[in-house]
A and B are shown apart, each in its own frame.
Chain A
Amino acid sequence: MSAADLHARVRTLLNEHDPVRSDPHDFLAARFDAGLAWVHFPTGSGGLDLPRNYQSQVENELTAAGAPPGGGGARNGIGMGMAAPTIAACGTAEQQRKFLRPLFTGEHIYCQLFSEPGAGSDLAGVATRAVRDGDNWIVNGQKVWTSSAQNAQRAILVARTDPTVPKHQGLTYFVCDMTDPGVDVRPLRQITGEAEFNEVFLTDVRVPDANRLGAEGGGWKVATTTLNNERVAIGSMAGGVRETGTIGKVTEAWRSQPDIRDPAMHDELMRLWVEAEVARLTGLRLRQRLVAGQLGPEGAGLKVTFARLAQAISGFEIELHPEEGLRYDDWTMRQPDSVDFIGRGTGYRYLRAKGNSIEGGTSEILRNTIAERILGLPPEHRVDKEIAWKDLPR
């Protein structure tokens, strides 16, 4: 299919479904059925089996026409950024049909049940158990750092199905129903004052075996697909356009408020500007490389840089506004609908950025990933690798 054919297909969709006046859910359903949700996904699963680079053409044309964002927007960032590519890569054709359409229409908001109190960087150590019961699995355990759990209808879940084998081999990956009565979501307040994350307690939650992604015991491989996508999703939040994100807040202030310009801060401003611009170009280049082929660990670099810059720039921004920096906009406990790195005031941005080098893999773990998986340096010494999970010292 050529770019012109794809353009015609987008025009047909827009002619048959008014992007602005239609119910967003109906428009997105029609977009999915036309194969225009993710053109690089398989035909019948919201795609057209096209190369990945065609997707931006579709996104640009639909955004220009005022169409609603896929997945229901920022509220479904985990669904769009992590669950969808994992389901497309690791799900059966039937699972793709079943899960992807409601994900894309925003009917199913997703969250991610990965981290646990005892399994953060050591994600493969998760203790949440899934025990087979006929055609179902019964899940018990506790998850943490779950953003969007309070809004989610579905979750991607990593659970231990075989404690008698080494930790990486006993994991299985599921799509879990968050409306199951055994799911208890409790907000977890963080340093910004709000609760963007949750703790999720799972008590005898029933997951059909039909919702298992990949093989029993093959959950680590599936989870790696999700994590690779997560790093690119977070790392790309710096944006494709110059001066997006926190650097845009700083440059806007510098231009519009001459009284805050401190000559002693100018070279640092330009250093950060250059680094943000180079990070933008690096993301652009990574996306050009990804046009063909699956995502590898390369996104880890993007994410480490994004975190470092978000922290440096938000720290600089506070110093640029000393009066405002002494104040804070709101310590009230609230639960936002979506993850917002740059909204609100300078203090919020500074505090929220501290999470950037922790969520989605700490910068330290990502440096291990780069060193071992990309550079081929020797792996960390691991005392737990050959031992059955149940026998590990705790």
Chain B
Amino acid sequence: MSDLLYSDTEDAVRDSVRRLFAERCPSEAVTSLYDAAPQNFSDVWHTLAADLGMAGLLVPEDLGGAGAGAREAAVVMEEIGRAVAPVPFLSSAVLATVALLHAGDTDTVRGLAAGSLTAALTVSLSTAPGDAVTGVSTGANGLTGRVTSVAGANEADVLVVPAAGPDGLELHTVSRDAAGVEVSPALTLDMTRPLADVQFSGVASSRVGTGFAEAAVAAALETGAALLASEQLGIAEWCFETTVAYAKQRKQFGRAIGSYQAIKHRLADLWIDVNAAGAAARYAADTRASQDDDATIGAAVAQAYCSGIAVRAAEECVQLHGGIGMTWEYPAHLYLKRAKSDQLAFGTAYRHRARLAELVDLPVS
């Protein structure tokens, strides 16, 4: 039976990551990502990836990783959500790492696990698991094509590129700085998870393995979807806890606004749903960690549920804070923007429900 709670090891992971973000990702600094002079967080990522060893959580020990798994990585994602931390953990330590491992790479992943390299899988962040991946193809001149809205591309040293070959989808790696690669950072709703459009104009590349890459890309996207639920949980928990604290302290008409039933009942409902999101996210992480037969369903359920709860928690956070919730100064907007973008990542809840319908044999017609 699935263990839906947290182990002592996972609690220790949480403590170290939370401490790092508390010290080095204060909300004022994160907000600067929306302005002309954004703070550089690459040193925070380096500490998380290399010093704390979190980049290697999904990498086996014989490839230099921590030999941990999806349960621990999910805890890191929760903390990233709680701090809206602008670190490329999802794009590098999850998406690119899982795709490379699945395709049989043993070289680049060592660098990723050690934290000396950062990678990005060049698919649009809105790609759902199982979607056909198009845009780049191989040819005599190398890789050509364009992919839009790639998470973490600008921060990456290595781009992991699914590309259409003569016989099927292949997985290639290229240096971010290689000739013919153009990475154009995009202006995005959520600037804390930077996206970029990537243009390949005849780029020399190395093919990873000899097999076809559909399964590797699908595994990466499904793991991404499963773990994104934990980030959504972290967002929802921060929004919920912050709003409850505010409702206790903010007074109107001579009493705390949290004493009014109109507010209490909304917060009680939100507590119920955030709690439920915790169960769904934990189930997705646990079934993935144990390679359970239910892992695909678990990921789809978690995305179908947690994506909406994170958005609702962030929307409630803005509303129940009143005017202050609408200000640039107060960090609620960082969570709202991350939550709304996360709702689109790896497919919307509508897509995941449609996928579930196939998985559990409830066809449309």
Residues of A within 8 A of B (CB): 251, 254-255, 258, 261, 263, 266-267, 269-271, 273-275, 277-279, 281-282, 284-285, 288-289, 301, 304-305, 364, 366-368, 370-372, 374-381
Contact = CB atoms under 8 A, between A and B. Distances in A.
Interface stretch (B56-64, B187-195, B270-278, B326-334): B270-278
Given A251-B362, A273-B362, A367 B268 contact: yes
Contacts of B361: 255
Nearest to A366: B268
Contacts of A288: 3-5
A274 B305 CA distance: 7
A281 B4 contact: yes
A24 B267 CA distance: 47
A336 B256 CA distance: 48
B268 to A, nearest CB: 4
Most buried by B among A270, A271, A372: A270
Contacts, number: 124
B268 A370 contact: yes
Contacts of A285: 4-5, 278-279, 282
Given A278-B305, A367-B265, A267 B353 contact: yes
Contacts of A375: 244, 258, 264, 267-268, 271
A377 B259 contact: yes
Given A274-B305, A375-B258, 17 more contacts: A266-B364, A267-B350, A281-B280, A281-B283, A285-B278, A304-B269, A304-B272, A305-B272, A370-B268, A371-B265, A371-B267, A371-B268, A372-B264, A375-B267, A375-B268, A375-B271, A377-B264
21 contacts: A254-B362, A261-B364, A263-B365, A266-B362, A267-B354, A269-B362, A274-B305, A274-B356, A281-B276, A281-B282, A282-B279, A301-B272, A301-B275, A367-B265, A370-B271, A371-B258, A371-B268, A375-B264, A375-B268, A377-B264, A378-B248
A282 B276 contact: yes
Interface in B34-58: none
B2 interface: yes
Contact of B261 (A258, A366, A380): A380
B264 A273 contact: no
8 interchain residue pairs of minimum CB distance: A371-B264, A378-B259, A270-B353, A367-B268, A370-B268, A281-B279, A285-B4, A377-B258
A284 B4 contact: yes
B363 interface: yes
Contacts of A255: 361-362
A301 B271 contact: yes
B295 interface: no
Nearest to A377: B258
A373 to B, nearest CB: 10
A3 B321 CA distance: 51
Contacts of A380: 259, 261
Interface in B239-263: 244, 247-248, 255-256, 258-259, 261, 263
B264 A368 contact: yes
A272 to B, nearest CB: 10
Contact of B304 (A274, A284, A376): A274
A375 B268 CA distance: 8
Contacts of B277: 278
Interface of B: 1-5, 244, 247-248, 255-256, 258-259, 261, 263-265, 267-269, 271-272, 275-280, 282-283, 301, 304-305, 350, 353-354, 356-357, 360-365
A370 B272 contact: yes
A377 B244 contact: yes
Contact of A376 (B248, B261, B363): B248
Contacts of B350: 267
B354 A278 contact: no
A256 B354 CA distance: 19
B264 A367 contact: yes
A41 to B, nearest CB: 23
Contacts of A251: 360, 362
Contacts of A261: 363-365
A267 to B, nearest CB: 6
B272 A270 contact: no
Given A370-B272, A377-B248, A289 B280 contact: no
A305 B276 contact: yes
A201 B272 CA distance: 38
Most buried by B among A277, A281, A380: A281
A284 B279 contact: yes
Contact of B354 (A258, A270, A275, A378): A270
B275 to A, nearest CB: 6
A188 B240 CA distance: 42
Contacts of B353: 267, 270-271, 273-274
B26 to A, nearest CB: 26
A147 B264 CA distance: 31
Most buried by A among B3, B258, B267, B279: B279
B265 A364 contact: yes
B6 to A, nearest CB: 11
Given A285-B278, A364-B265, A274 B4 contact: no
A378 B256 contact: yes
Contact of B301 (A254, A266, A274): A274
A237 B124 CA distance: 42
A53 to B, nearest CB: 10
A277 B280 CA distance: 9
A270 B267 contact: no
A109 to B, nearest CB: 32
A289 B265 CA distance: 24
A275 to B, nearest CB: 7
A370 B274 CA distance: 13
Given A251-B362, A254-B362, A284 B271 contact: no
A37 B280 CA distance: 32
A306 B255 CA distance: 33
Nearest to B303: A274
Contacts of B276: 278-279, 281-282, 305
A305 to B, nearest CB: 6
A368 B4 contact: no
Contact of A284 (B2, B268, B301, B354): B2
Contacts of A305: 272, 276
B362 A278 contact: no
B275 A275 contact: no
Given A367-B264, A367-B269, A277 B365 contact: no
A57 to B, nearest CB: 11
Contacts of A258: 365
Most buried by A among B264, B354, B365: B264
B134 to A, nearest CB: 27
Contacts of B244: 375-377
A381 B264 CA distance: 13
A371 B361 CA distance: 39
